[in-house]
Amino acid sequence: MRRAYRILPAAYAFMLVAMVAEWHTLSWANLLAALTYLSNYCHGGSWTLGHLWSLSVEDELYLL
């Protein structure tokens, strides 16, 4: 939980800034995958939010 409280605000702030700055290049699939931490399953599209794939893998590991 401490890790989530430390990482999630920064990750969502990054997503918000990236979405505002790159809204014309992002698809709905990219946005939804980033917001739900499923970026490791979303292949293709813009790499703007693709940097979140490592957080997606990590969070899925924690859920398991």
pLDDT tens per residue, range 9-63 = 988 898 899 889 988 888 888 888 888 888 888 777 677 887 788 888 888 888 8
Mention every residue, 6+ apart, whose C-beta is less than 8 A from residue 52.
Answer: 11, 14, 15, 34, 37, 39
DSSP per residue, 1-64 = -HHHHHHHHHHHHHHHHHHHHTTTT--HHHHHHHHTT-GGG--SS-STTGGGHHHHHHHHHHH-
Residues in the chain: 64
